[in-house]
Structure 1
C-alpha cells in the first residue's frame, strides 16, 4: 500500500515536471538558433546588437507576463487548469516561432513586421514558461509530503535542466554536418518546431492528474481534497493534514502582506539574485561563448551538451542533498562556487586569454549554480509563503525573476561590447552578495510541513507586533 502511494506521488510529480522540461526547452532552444536569427533578422534588416539582444530575450517579456498572471489564474482556475493553459501556449509558440511567416508573410523575406510577429510568438511561449515556472513548483509542493518535498520540487529543476540538455542534443543533431547557410535557412526553424512534441505530451498527460488538495480546500471542496490526501497518506495522516490545511485558510485573510513585508521581499530577492548571478547568459549564449574560444559552430553546440551533462549531474546532487543538508547550506556553498567561477572567467577576459581554462571556469560556475541556486530557489518560493497568499506571492516573486532575467540577458551583448571582464566581474559580485543575503536573511525550511512553516511565520509576526506595541 505504501509503495502504491509513493508511485502515485511520483507519477503526478513527473507529469507536473514536464512543465519544467518545457520551461528549460523553450528558454534554451534559442541558444542554437541565436546566430541564425542574427543572420536572418539583424543582419538582413541591418539592426543593432541591442535589437538582436532584445529579440533573443523576447520570450522573457512573456515570462514576466505569465509570472504576473500565474497568481490570478492558479487562484481563480486552479493549479491544474493553469498548467493546461501553459501547455497550449507552448504548442502555439513552437509552431509559430518555427514558421512566423505562416498565413501572413512570404518565407525567406525578413521584414520588420515579420520580426515583430516572430517576437510575438516567442512572447506567447514565454507566457507559458511564466505560468509553468510559477505553478509547477506550487503544484508539486502542495501534493508532496514534507519529508520528501524538497527532493520532489527539486525534480522540477532537474526537468528544466534536462529540457535544456535535450534541446542542446536536438540543436546539435539538426546542425551537425550541415552548412551554415542551411542552418540559417531551415535548421533554426526545425529547432523551434521540435518543441511541439513535448508540449503535446504535457497537454495530454495533464488530464490524468488531480487538482492539489490545498487548492480544493480553498474552494471548499473538502471531500475531494480528502480523496487526494488518502492517496498520498494513510487515513489518520490524511485527516490530520486536511485539518491543518483547513485551519490555515480559516485563521488568516489572504492579503499579500498580512504575514509581513519581509517574507515577500525575501521571496523576491531570492528570485532576483538567481538571475543577477548571470546564469542565463551562460545558457542562452553558450554556443557563442564557445565559438569565441575558437570552436567551430557544430563543435560549440557539442560543448553546450557537455555543459548540459554537467548541469544534470549537479542538479541530481542537489536533489539528493536538499532534504538532508537543508536549503541554506547548499545556497551558500553554491554562491561561493559561482563567485570562484565568474572571477576566473573575468580574470581571463581581462587578460584576453580566452581558451580551455574559460570552459573549466564556466563549468565550475554552472555546476555550482545547478547544485544550489537553480533548484533550491524554486523549493524555497514554493515553501515560504503561507497557503492564503501563496499564489499571488509566488506570482510576484516569479515575475521579478523573469524581469531580472530579461534585464541581464538583453543587456549582455551590449555589456560585452563595452568590457567582457567587467561584465563577468559584475556576475561575480552578484554571486558574493547572494551568499551574504542567504546567510543573513533566508529561513531554513527543511523537514517542516507548509502549515508548520506558516505557523512559525505567524508567531514571528505576532512577536514583532508585540515588540512594536511595547516600544510605543
Structure 2
C-alpha cells in the first residue's frame, strides 16, 4: 500500500511545475505573435515564412532539449535536469523580453536584434524540451501503478493550466491598451511574466528527492530504499526495489542499455505517438489562437478573450482525462479523442471551403481542442512515461520527445504559409491525420493501465513466458 499519499502528491505537484512552464513558454507567443510581426517582420519587410520561423523559434530549442534530455537525465539524474530546465526558463524570459540587454541599445529593430531574440527563445525552448521529457518521466518513476495515469496526467493539466494563466496574463496586458503600445512594449511584459513561475520552480525543486529508479540504476540502493519507504510500506518498498534492480540486470547487462535492446518496434511506437500528437495540428490552435479568432471577425481584445474561453475548455477536458485514464484505460481515450478531433477539423475545413465564418467555426474548434485535451494531450505523455523499459527509458523518451518537437516545429512554422494557400486544405490535413492516429492506436498501442513499469517491460521481451507481478498499490 502507499505509505504517504500527501508526500507523493506534493513531489508530483512540484514536478508538474515543469509542465506549467512548458505550457506557459509555448503559449506566451500566442498573445505576442501579432506584436512580433509588427515589431520585426513588418518593420524589416520580412516574409510570412520568416515570421512563422520566428514564432516557432523556441521549437528549435525544444528539439535540442528533447535530444539532450536522455543524456542529462541518465548522467546527472532526473532532479538536476529539471533544475537546469528551470534556470533556462528564467534566463529566456528575461532575454526574450529585453533582447537589447547587454548587446544593443533600444531603437529601431534590426536583423541582429531579431536573431538575438530568437536565440533567447531557443534557450527557453531547450528548457521546455528538457522539462517535457523529464517531468513526466520523473512522475512516472515515482508514481504507484494504480494512480500513475492520473499523476502523469496532472503534468498535462499543468501544461494546459500554464497556457490558461498566460492567456489571462496576455489579455490583462493588452486589455484597453493602444495597438502601438502593445507592438512596442506590451509583448515584452508578456515574456517577462514567465520569470515568476520559473523562479518558483527552481526554488521548490531543491525540496524533492531523486527518483528511486535512477538511484538504483546508479547503485545508490540505500537512498532508493529510503525514498521507496516513503512511497510504500516497508514490505512493498523492498519488493519493489528488488523488482527494479532485476530490470536493470537481466540478459541485457547491468545498468542502462542500448537504445534497441528491446527491439525497434517500441522505439517506432514512441516516435509515431509523438509525431501524431503534433500532426493533428493542436499547437496551431494554441500558438495562433488569437489570430484564428480575429479571422472569424473578432476584435483584438475579443479574440484574446475567446482564447481564454478555449483555455477553460482545455482545462475542463484535461480534468476529464485525469479522472478516466486509470479507469477506462489509455487506448479507448486515444481512439475516442482522434474521432472527435477529426469531426472538429473537418467541420472547420468545411466552413473554410464555404467561406462561412461565425459561431459554428468556434464550436468546431472547441470540439477539436476538447477532444485533444481529453485524450492525446495527457495520454501520450502517460504512455511515453511508462512503455519504455527502465534500461532505455531516458534514451527512448529523448528520441520520442525530440521527434515530437520536430513535428511541432514543422507544423507550426508552415501554418502561415499553408493558410495563404488554402485554409480548407490546411484543416483537412489535420483532420486526416486525426483519422490516421486512431488507426495507429487501434493497431499498435497496448493497454498499460494498472501495471507496474517493470511488468510492462514484458510487452517487449518475447522471451519472457509470462509477466511477473507486483502487489498493486491501493
Measured against the shorter chain, the TM-score band is over 0.9
Residues 82-104 of structure 1: per-residue CA shift (max 9 Å, x gap)? 00000000000000000001111
Structure 1 or 2: more helix by fraction? 1
Partner of 2:347: 344
For 2:298 and 2:342, the matched residues in 1 are separated by: 26
For 1:211 and 1:109, the matched residues in 2 are separated by: 47
For 1:412 and 1:462, the matched residues in 2 are separated by: 46
Is 2:20–2:159's contact at 8 Å kept on the other side of the alignment? yes
Partner of 2:58: 59
Residues 414-438 of structure 1: per-residue CA shift (max 9 Å, x gap)? 0000010000000000000000000
How far has the Cα of 1:217 moved from its partner?
A: 0.2
For 1:368 and 1:292, the matched residues in 2 are separated by: 23
Is 2:458–2:464's contact at 8 Å kept on the other side of the alignment? no
Partner of 1:128: 127
Structure 1 segments unaligned to the other structure (5+ residues): 464-472
Q: Which runs of 4+ in 1 moved over 4 A?
A: none
Partner of 1:321: 324
Is 1:174–1:191's contact at 8 Å kept on the other side of the alignment? yes
For 2:107 and 2:201, the matched residues in 1 are separated by: 32
Is 2:69–2:134's contact at 8 Å kept on the other side of the alignment? yes
For 1:7 and 1:233, the matched residues in 2 are separated by: 12
For 2:39 and 2:128, the matched residues in 1 are separated by: 25
Is 1:384–1:453's contact at 8 Å kept on the other side of the alignment? yes
How far has the Cα of 1:356 moved from its partner?
A: 1.0
Q: Give secondary structure in 1 for the equivalent of 2:313.
A: helix
How far has the Cα of 1:462 moved from its partner?
A: 6.1
**Residue 425 of structure 1, aligned match among 402, 423, 428:** 428
For 2:446 and 2:125, the matched residues in 1 are separated by: 31
Matched, 1:24 2:26: no
For 1:181 and 1:358, the matched residues in 2 are separated by: 30
TM-score (norm 1): 0.97
Partner of 1:144: 143
Distance 1:53 1:461, change over 3 A: farther
Structure 2 segments unaligned to the other structure (5+ residues): 466-474
Partner of 1:206: 205
Partner of 1:95: 94
Q: How does 1:370-409 map to 2 (within 5 A)?
A: 370-409=373-412
TM-score (norm 2): 0.96
Partner of 1:466: none
Is 2:20–2:163's contact at 8 Å kept on the other side of the alignment? yes
For 1:23 and 1:231, the matched residues in 2 are separated by: 28
Is 1:108–1:185's contact at 8 Å kept on the other side of the alignment? no
Q: Give secondary structure in 2 for the equivalent of 1:323.
A: coil
Residues 188-211 of structure 1: per-residue CA shift (max 9 Å, x gap)? 000000000000000000000000
Aligned residues: 461
Distance 1:48 1:332, change over 3 A: same
How far has the Cα of 1:106 moved from its partner?
A: 2.1
